[in-house]
Structure 1
Amino acid sequence: MSTTSPRKTVASSSFSVWANKHRKWIFAGPSMAFVAILIVFPIGWTIFLSLTNSRGSVRAPLDFIGLENYLTVLTDTERFWPAVGRTVFFTGGALIAELVLGMAIALLLWRPFKGQGLVRVAILLPLVATPVAVGMMWRLIFEPNIGFANQMLGWFGIPAQPWLSGQNTALPTLMFVDIWQWTPMVVLILLAGLSSLSDEPDEAARVDGANSWQRFWYVTLPLIRMTVITAVLIRGIDALKTFDILYATKGKGGGSFHEVETLNVYAYGLSFDYNKYGLSSTVLILFFMMIVLCVWALTARKKKGDS
């Protein structure tokens, strides 16, 4: 017959109490540590490369040069700053259009009607296709000579347009493609927010004599304000990172004249076309800081709205 010492019993009891008190961290800790490693190591390595003259080969010797890459990139008015402008233009234009169209479609789908389920499924179909496939499909549609877009314009006597081949039309055309594919995501988010609303505020405003626009602007929109900010946050970050559609349609450098070269395409070209890993890492770190700043601003606004 074995006996357990009082000291071991007290230690086991104390550990059980501690483990029960911190059980959520014990179970989630390994996963959190694994995710942290996956995030911290790539960012840390990219920061390190941005402070070196790494180029030519990943195995080539490199030297620590401090902030020289950052000075080179930030003073580059030929490629970097135009890429920043295109990134902001593409993201801002696509996001505003997707938010307006998404809100309009969500309001139309908010109230029950015959065939509502079929319409919802049809609207979500663009999300099923991969961005590369979508880019190649629209590339064929906007082909200047045999594309359906110019054929349709010809039916109305409108001259053919360069679409993706024009320096001034390529980026707006790709914005249209992005809007076509990702507006359904905004619809999905906003429709979830609208579906959670009670009918009482809208009915009270209707009784008070408010018209449809007044009920939307002064009643419905303030009630789903946090949902709108969430949609802007999710879709805005995703639009900032857009790469596949741009590269699938225009190729290296964002076109012959870099007409659709955003920061993602620019960093990809520096790394895989010119093997300038230090400069590419610098662009990515600056881009990452832009995204973090945008997320911080939207999150702070959301918290301000919650308080």
Structure 2
Amino acid sequence: MSPAQTEAAAREPNGWRPPSYWPFVLPALLVVLAIIIFPWAYTIWMSLHEWKVGSAPTFIGLSNYIRLPSDIRFIEAIGHTLVYSALSVALPLIFGTFAAVVFHTKFPMRGFLRGLFIMPMMATPVAIALVWTMMFHPQLGILNYLLSLVGVPPQLWVFHPATVIPSLVMVETWQWTPLVMLIVLGGLASIPTEPYESALIDGATRWQTFRYISLPLIAPFLFIASMIRMIDAVKSFDIIFAITQGGPGNASETINVYLYSVAFVYYDVGYASAIVVVFFALIVALAGALLWLRRRTHWNDGGDVR
């Protein structure tokens, strides 16, 4: 066949042929179906049944979902989750940004202190929880001892409903402020020196330099840090469970802790599955809102938000 005939044959419409890459895609597709889609489909199936460990499942339709709005502990758990998540995002963002500004300046032993500062992020959550549990002890804890040195009366910390969530947020802030610091530090390192030199010539103060130069230029990095911390804080479980188990009473019971109790204490698998589905929908809605906000927010070359 001549080259002209080959080109003409290639142009002729042929029947559908399976893509040549299917043998490579199919194994990955099967893995996704096995480890992601099937468990979720099975969870939704369980949520439509009344199923307690030791008894056969009974189909009850949407009864488990209808039960959720009247469940006081579930409603309170949502409130605790939102408060805990909001504080666990805002405080590391503030302190992490401040730490990044400090470590961005040059001073002796800066590298060593940077490494020391990020060490809490490397520790395991259970180990952190055990250490902070001892520190929170009303009689033997070092925190109350430090307060006594400045004349402040001892606090109950995680042993009182009014202070348990702020105390847990303190632990979360201590552990994850270094992560925000690293993200913002990368943003500060990418800023050219010319704007700072111009501000120095114009006689701008340090606060004015940060407010009108650094902060607008690191805004995209702050947004990324906020997204990472929000997703992590909403699903936080290990620190809370290891320190308080949701107590005192139900004062620190987030959705994850309540879900654990329903599934592994009361063995109500069907109702726990309904909570999982609703919790997953909440996370998807929150992530969608953050992504929508990210798409709606545009930064120009100067870092200004439009």
TM-score between the two structures when normalised by the length of structure 2: 0.85
Aligned partners of 1:47 and 1:282 also within 8 Å: yes
User: Is 1:64 paired with 2:59?
Assistant: yes
User: Structure 2 residue aligned with 1:96, among 90, 93, 111?
Assistant: 90
For the residues of structure 2 that align with 1:173 and 1:234, how far apart are their CA atoms? Answer: 21
Higher helix share: 1
Aligned to 1:48: 45
Q: CA deviation at 1:144?
A: 1.0
Change (3 A) 1:229 1:26: farther
Q: CA deviation at 1:65?
A: 1.7
Q: How does 1:263-274 map onto structure 2 within 5 Å? A: 263-274=255-266
* Aligned residue identity for 1:55: K
User: Structure 1 residue aligned with 2:212, among 196, 218, 221?
Assistant: 218
Aligned partners of 2:158 and 2:248 also within 8 Å: no
For the residues of structure 1 that align with 2:36 and 2:220, how far apart are their CA atoms? Answer: 28
- RMSD value over aligned CA atoms? 2.3
User: Is 1:128 paired with 2:91?
Assistant: no
* Aligned residue identity for 1:269: S
Aligned to 1:15: none
For the residues of structure 1 that align with 2:29 and 2:226, how far apart are their CA atoms? Answer: 27
For the residues of structure 2 that align with 1:123 and 1:91, how far apart are their CA atoms? Answer: 23
Aligned partners of 2:159 and 2:248 also within 8 Å: no
**Quick check: 202-211 or 84-93, which moved more?**
202-211
Q: CA deviation at 1:51?
A: 1.5
Q: How does 1:291-302 map onto structure 2 within 5 Å? A: 291-302=283-294
Aligned partners of 1:226 and 1:305 also within 8 Å: no
User: Is 1:197 paired with 2:194?
Assistant: no
List runs of 5+ in structure 2 lacking aligned partners.
1-5, 11-18, 300-306
Q: How does 1:159-170 map onto structure 2 within 5 Å? A: 159-170=153-164
Q: CA deviation at 1:255?
A: 1.7
User: Is 1:143 paired with 2:137?
Assistant: yes
Aligned to 1:284: 276
Aligned residues: percent identity? 37
SS at match of 2:118: helix
Aligned to 1:304: 296
List runs of 5+ in structure 1 lacking aligned partners.
1-5, 11-17
For the residues of structure 2 that align with 1:287 and 1:268, how far apart are their CA atoms? Answer: 13
SS at match of 1:79: helix
User: Is 1:174 paired with 2:168?
Assistant: yes
* Aligned residue identity for 1:68: S
